[in-house]
Structure 1
Amino acid sequence: MSIKRLVRFKHRFLFLFALASVLTLISGVYFIRFLAKPNTGLVVNYPEVINLEGKIIFSPKTPFSPAVASGMKANTDQIISINGQVVKTIRDVVEADASIWRFDPIPVEIVRNNVLEQTILITPAVTLTRLDWVFALIFCIALAFTSFYLIIHLPEDTASNFI
């Protein structure tokens, strides 16, 4: 191996190592945020609502969520507001849920069966009560392992010639 090729190899290796480190750091931040975020049951991995004729209807895919445990009824309850934030779109539900960072009960105003308006208090749960955190951890570890494996075993691969 010539000196020039060795320098080029180290340059690629260092760049790929830095890239893998950044990806690992990002996945670690994602995982920590995932664990720290209170689970309201309104947005699990995706919004647990549907937009039906302009109404935001609670439609959970997760049967044992804090929202269901607090008394919300699937495919019956129209969400009016979450924690004081008016909800008119699915994006509003995501934004309202994203603003919740405490484990205090969250007031959710609903209309049940198009008749009765009421407020339900949802008590957020710790994410560790769901098994999803295991899959998130496996994903983060797999991403880190794959990144470092590829930089160690494939730094001279033709696919990395752009570096």
Structure 2
Amino acid sequence: MSAMQALIDVRESGAYLLMSVGGSGALRRHLAEMGLVVGKKVTVVQPASKLSGMVIFFQGQRLAISDEIASLLVVRPFAMDADTPAIALADLPLRQAGLIRTIKGDPSLRHRLMDMGLTKGTLVKIHQIAPLGDPIELAVRGYKLSIRKQDAAHVLVTEVTSDGDT
């Protein structure tokens, strides 16, 4: 898997995961209002070239991105490789991020977890663990969520390391 890179440096069309957003506070707020926040999936439709700007597909619409904005967005390829080992969310180390691969368990548990925002392809990070190990506080989709450790054991994730490798 390729390392993280600025969106402007992407040379191939495909799906990418937004890992960080740079720029001033006002610009980051504006991009967040558009939905461009860490953990979101963007699809590069047309990479930037000398003849034309970059076009991405995001939240059901095509957007033209200036080179300046694209240079502030850091992405990594978005891939759910079948050969990459999946671990339980409950076993993910503190402050570690992971991409949700699947949710196991009975249908009512799966629906409850999905209603809380834990869906396939979502970036989730272990924010805190209670002193006795239960519950676990997660950072997901820009908010904090606490779930029981036994529920987290049903969520399988692929670890996302800080250098962008899984």
Fold similarity call, TM over 0.5: no
> Hey, which of these two has a bigger chunk of helix by percent?
1
Per the normalisation by structure 1, the TM-score is 0.24
> Hey, which of these two has a bigger chunk of strand by percent?
2
Per the normalisation by structure 2, the TM-score is 0.24
